[in-house]
Structures are given as structure tokens and as C-alpha cells.
Amino acid sequence: MSAGAGDVVLRVDWPECRARGLCAELLPERIVLDEWGYPVVLGPVSPALQALAREAADACPRRALHLRPA
Amino acid sequence: MIRPPDVVDVTPGPMLLSGIADGPSLAAHRVRQGPLPEADAGALLAVIAPLAVRGRGGAGFPLARKIDTVLAHRSRRPGRRPVVVVNAAEGEPASAKDSALLDVAPHLVLDGAVLAARALGAGTVHLVTSVDRPWAGAAAARAVAERDDHGIRWSRHEAQARFVSGQARAVLELLSGRSGLPVTSWVPESMSGHRGRPTLLSNAESFAHLAAAVHVGADRYASYGTPQEPGTTLLTLTEPAGPDGSFGGSSGGSGRAGVDGVPVVGVRVVEVCHGDAASQVLSAQALANPLLVGGFHGAWLSPRDVPALRWSNAHLRALGASLGAGCVITLARGQCPVEETARIVTYLAAESAGRCGPCFNGLPALADEVRGLAEGADTRRRIAELTGLVRGRGACAHPDGTARIVTSLLTTLDGEVEEHLDGRCGCRALSTVGAA
Amino acid sequence: MTAPLLWYLNRGTGIALLVVFSVTVVLGVLATGRSSTPLWPRFVTQGLHRTLAALSVLLLVGHAVTAVVDEYVDIRWWQAFVPFGGTYERWWLGLGALALDVTLLIVATSLARARIPHRVWFAVHLTTYAAWAAGVAHGIGIGTDSQRGWLAAITLGCVVAVAVAALARVVDVVRSRPRRSVAPAPSTTTLGELFPATSTQAAPRVTSGGASTRVAAPTGSRR
């Protein structure tokens, strides 16, 4: 997927991530877990999904998920 | 854990390595190059920007653009003064050019650092070498002691002997007294680096090019190389000895004496012009075998493409490779690229900093599968899966580089891989049980 | 002002706080686990933990306010925050004030979580165990009903639950520690052993001392 106008990008702070998996539970449209439990980001976040994306970032116990402008 | 070479042969070259026979002293350097010119930021950029001088740490980022970014983000406030970092940590064991430069032509590197520091208004230059190349650190210390640059404070550091220690953010962590391992970089260090200051961090060779361009002038610098890629570049050539114990290339070099005086592996640092033919420095044996260009994070080249190879990024990109940090590794006769890749990937997996899940899980799994391939199992599908899973999912490019060498084995050397799986390549891996 | 209502409210909020705070702590430990099922995803545990923590704070505020407002016992408003200098049951009250102070700090850091480094937030959050323990001790010592059997049973239940959860957390932390970055083994392999020559000789170890670069004789120009 390529970013459109108003999109934000999900970025993972890898040294902080401990594969807790809450992000994938809250934003399955854009995050799936790999075989070791770490998040795979599928693409940018459209404005419609941004509230959910913010929830997912807020839910991360390690604050390892960040939203950045595209 | 692989030690870097103890002895490196350095061959005189046209520009950076032109004066090395006269010794590394400041006096000899000044006789050869003249006094250090004064150059403000504008003058410096006017020289190096048209020459498209690129960083030599592997990423090849244009040096002029880095300097521009530091200029844009600096201010005179105490906490925002820029900083210059000369990175000679050289975590890649197959690379020796930065350490060699510090040993044979340190003042070219230091001139470059001083020129950059003065142009940026930085007061401190940090010099980083590695614990497992103590001779480079000692040479740097000697060279710094000879200098008397007004307004410049020199600060030396020693990085751990790890593959990832030379990564830019890892170096900045070291400078801050933390662990010297990579962390996530949200903005480039030229915007916010050491203690939040705009930081010009480049490796030793990049600073040498900066100084060379200013000393010899843009015209003479551009007389080497090609119009698209002016200038020269340093290569570290790692080559096993031929059957008669000699090494290739017209530049000679004799490697380390093994038991009974037969050399085993030779490591040479040479300076080539961009666009030069590889056949000028590589032996006939190297030209007939697959070649690993770019070190352990590089890419394999097929024997079809090696004889006509030129040391230019334009030429290499078309072959799926790039100069990177200039490490070139040749195989010995009878060595199999599948087996060598398995050994390299096993080493790289062990060298993960252990901080990023996809890396410290994915690389050992990838190494297992590549070793399986070396032992004759067709694990290519799983390998492709794993390389896709580790790319881009780490704080640094360690997983990406590892994925790169493995992917190049499976694509560029697909013929050799097929031969290996069919048992036709005659390498030792299939005749003995288990790999390294 | 005084009224039996205030006293009952104070005791009631105290007992409710004991239970809710204990459940919050246990949920906090459970939230660090990796397992989840489709019926009970991890964000539910986390959401419950955060909600019950907020409820605990409300109960704590109510408990402190009713204690101060009720004039039946002399507790000044500042004695709810300062853990010494009180007159009524000085040490047990002090423990309660300590628990309240630590809880306020935890709440403040959790609200500012996005702005402070994770390490700082985590260190402060660990003091929850101390706040909980101080609160439980406060309840046992100062509580009017603490001799009653049903409250003793509830208190015991909460203590056991938190103790088990804390123990499980310690075990989990200790077990997962070695997985992370390991110091590299001292280098033993040389580059030559990585690329063995056709001969079977082992690569020698050349100890470095003095110059380790050799400048080769200049050759003709190779432009």
C-alpha cells in the first residue's frame, strides 16, 4: 500500500517492543503478528483508521508503537 | 566471533594513498599536501557538492547533504553546537580501510575532520576506533598528539569488538556512555545526534576524501574516476592464497605467513578510481569465481560478470550490488558460495545486538535454513519467507544486510545453488557431515 | 461535622479500596503475560487494569476525604499527605498517607506517559507494590473492623492473591532475562578460517605489536 493524503505511518521502536501483541488486537487492519509475536505493519493508516491507531499506540505497554506523518 | 586481520598490506594509490611511502607523520603530510586551507561552510560545499563526494560507510549518503543538514540545524546556543564524529570503528571484519588510513595517512583524515569542524562551528571532534584493532587507536593517538589545531578539542573512544558497533547510532550511544549498540533513529543524526546536537558522523575515509578534495582542488579530484562518479575509493581485498602461495593483482601483496611459510589469507587495502577495471587488482582465480562485493552485508557477483567488472556503483547496481564500504572477498579454488554464505550468516546471526525481536529471532532461523541448504536440503522457500520477515524490522540495517547477501545467493548465484543441491559442485560441505 | 454516615463511608471505602486495589495489582501482573485467547484478548486485561486503577483512586480520595471531614477523630487535611506528625494513631495513619502519596505519583506518571521516558514510568510504576503493602498494613493497624473474621478473611485473600501474582512476575522476569543480548565470546576465529585455503593448515595467530600495516612497494601507475 502507498500513502495517500492525510495518512500517517506506523513505526515500531524495535528495541522497546516485547511482542505483547496488544497493537495487533486493536488494529488488525494494519498490524499482524509474525511467527515470533512481533508486529508486521501492513501499510499506512488512512484518516478513517487513525483513532483506532492512536488507541493501539496508547495501549502498547512499552510505548513502542508510534504514529508519524507520512 | 571473527577477528579482523592482524596485518594489512596497503598499496600506494593515486590520491588518498599517494604519500604513504613517506610515513604517517604530520611533517611528511604537510610537505606533501601543504598547509591546511581555511574554508568556511560555503567554500567547503562549493568544492565537494559538485564532486558528489559520498560517505564511505556503506550507505553512500552525499556528504554535502549531511553538512547542509547540520548547518541548517545548528545554533550558537550552548546545547546546540554541532559535533563532528570520525567513525573508524569498522565493525565489519573484512573491512580494514579506515583502520589502515589511520595508520598510514592519519593526517588526511584529521585534516578533513578539522575542515568540517571549522566550517560547522564545532569545537569537538570525536574519534572512534575499535578495541580489536588497537593499532589503529594507537596510530590515531599519535597523530592527534602531533597536531595543534586551534579551537579543536579531540576526544578518542574505543568501540566494542562487535559487528554492529560501527553503526551510526551505536557509535552515538557509545559517546553518551551507554551500551554502544544500535537504537531506533527517529531523525538523522545530522539533525539531532550526540546529546541532541546536529552531528556530522562519517567514516574515516569520507573525511579523507573531504580533505583530499580541498587540498588538491576540485579539478584534480575530478580527473580521477568518471564524470558521474568522480574521484577514487578504497577497497579492502580479502583473498585466499593461490596454490603457489601468491596473491593476485599487479599490486602484489603477500599476506600473512602461515605455518611453513605458506600464506593463508591476504588482506590488501588499495585505492582505485571509480570505473577502474577490477582485473587490475584481482587475481585470475578471483576473476573466475563468484565474488562477494560489499562485505558480509553485500551481494554476490556471478563469475560471468566478474571479468568485466568495474568499480563503479552504476555498473554494480545493474548487477544487484554496490560498493558499500568497499570490502571485496574472493573465494578460494574449490570453495562453494553456498557454504561460505552459510558461515557468514551464522556469524551475522550471532552478532545481532539482541535488542530487536525480528532480528534475534529471525537471523538465527535464517542461518539454520542456509546451513540446511549447504547440507543439501532445498530450504529456499523458507529462506525467502525469512528474508522477507526480517527486512526493515530492526533498529539498524543488520537484518536488511543479512537478508541481502542471502537473497543475492539465491538470485544471482541460482545456478551455483542448483549445482550444489544436485551435488555437482564438488565442495566439501556435502561430503562431510554437518557444516561449520 | 460528624455523623455515623461519614464513619461508615470511611470504613466502606477503605475495605472496597483494599479489594479493588488488590485486583488492580493482580491484573497489572497478568497484563504482562503473553498468552491471550480470542475470548479474552490482552487489551481487555489492560483495559480492566486501567479502569480499576482509576476506580481505586476514586475510592482512595473518598476514603481520605471522609477521614478528614469526620471530626469524630482528629485528622487534619495535611495528615492525609504527610506520613508523620499525626496525632490519631500516628504510625498507621502515616502508612496510609504514604500509600496515598505513592499512588498520586503513580497516577501522575501514568497520565504523562507519552511525555516521559518509559524507564522512568516503569520505575515509578513498580512502587505500586509498596503503596499496596502500606495500604494493607494501614488497614490492619488502624481499621476499626480489622478484628472481624470476615474482614480478616478478605484481607488474607487479597494478600495471598497479590503475593502469588508478584511471585509469578519475579519468576517470569528471572526466566526471560538471559534471552536478551549476550556479551560476544572472545574472538577466536580469524578471517582466514572463515575462508579456508585449499591447504589444511590452520590460520596462524599473528600477535600485533607495532605497525600492523605494511606499505607495499609502489608499482607503476594504474590509471
User: What number of C-beta contacts closer than 8 Å exist between B and C?
Assistant: 154
Q: Do C113 and A20 touch (CB under 8 A)?
A: no
From B95-104, B166-175, B427-436, C53-62, the region with the lowest mean pLDDT? B427-436
Interval B149-182: pLDDT, tens: 999 999 999 999 999 999 999 999 999 999 999 9
Q: Strands A31-33 and A39-41: what pairing?
A: antiparallel
Distance from CA of C129 to the nearest CA of A (A): 18
CB contact under 8 A, C216 and B253: yes
pTM comes to 0.87
Q: Compute the distance between CA of residue B294 and CA of residue B62 in angstroms, rounded to an integer.
A: 18
Q: What is the pLDDT of residue C12?
A: 92
Q: What sections of chain C are H helices per DSSP?
A: 4-30, 42-69, 90-111, 118-126, 128-142, 149-176, 191-194
Q: What is the pLDDT of residues B331-353, one digit of tens each?
A: 877 788 999 999 999 999 999 99
Substitution target in C29, C109, C118 with the highest count of A β-carbons within 10 Å is C118
Contacting residues of A for B395, CB less than 8 Å apart: 13-15
Cα distance between residue B292 and residue B306, in whole Å = 10
Our CA-based measurement puts residue C32 at a distance from the nearest CA of chain A, in whole angstroms, of: 7
pLDDT at B357: 95
CATH code for the domain defined by B11-222: 3.40.50.11540
Residues of B in contact with C207 (CB under 8 A): 6
Question: Three-state SS for B178?
Answer: coil
Longest CA–CA span in chain A (Å) reads 33
Partners of C216 in the β-ladder: none
Nearest CA in chain A to B182: A15
Sign of CA dihedral B189, B191, B197, B201: positive
CATH number for region B336-430: 1.20.1440.230
Range in B15-19, B100-104, B262-266, C130-134 the model is least confident about: B262-266
Cell (9 digits) for B124: 569537538
Write B108-111 long-range contacts (CB < 8 A, 24+): B108/B16, B108/B29, B108/B33, B108/B207, B108/B208, B108/B211, B108/B212, B109/B204, B109/B205, B109/B207, B109/B208, B109/B211, B110/B86, B110/B143, B110/B144, B110/B147, B110/B207, B111/B29, B111/B33, B111/B36, B111/B207, B111/B211, B111/B214, B111/B215
Per-residue model confidence (pLDDT) at position B436: 40
The C-alpha of A46 sits at a distance from chain C's nearest C-alpha, in angstroms, of: 22
- As annotated, the residues of chain B forming the CATH 3.40.50.11540 domain(s) are 11-222
In order along its 223 residues, chain C shows pLDDT tens digits of 668 888 889 999 999 999 999 999 999 998 887 677 778 889 999 999 999 999 999 999 999 999 888 877 778 888 888 888 777 778 888 999 999 999 999 999 999 998 999 999 999 999 999 999 999 999 988 877 666 788 889 999 999 999 999 999 899 888 877 554 444 444 445 555 555 432 222 222 222 223 456 765 444 332 2
**ipTM value for the complex:** 0.93
Separation of alpha carbons B84 and B124, rounded Å? 7
Give the tens place of pLDDT for each residue, B374-400.
999 999 999 999 999 999 999 999 999
Residue of chain A whose Cα is closest to the Cα of C44: A22
Look at residue C218 in the predicted model and tell me its pLDDT.
41
Measured between its terminal Cα atoms, the distance across chain C in Å is 100
User: Where along chain B do the CATH 1.20.1440.230 domains lie?
Assistant: 336-430
- Contact at CB, A14 and B357, closer than 8 angstroms: yes
Contacts of B250 in chain C (CB under 8 A): 219-220, 222
Report yes or no: B382 at the A interface, CB cutoff 8 Å: no
Q: Which three cell numbers stand for residue C63?
A: 476514603
Q: State how far the Cα of B253 lies from the Cα of B236, in Å rounded to an integer.
A: 12
Kindly give, in sequence order, each residue whose CB lies less than 8 Å from that of residue A53, ignoring residues fewer than 6 positions away. Answer: A8, A10, A27, A30, A45, A67
Nearest CA in chain B to C177: B354
Could you tell me if C37 lies within 8 Å of chain B, comparing CB atoms?
no
Contact B118, B39 (CB under 8 A): yes
Per-residue model confidence (pLDDT) at position B57: 79
Q: Compute the nearest-CA separation of A20 from chain C (Å).
A: 6
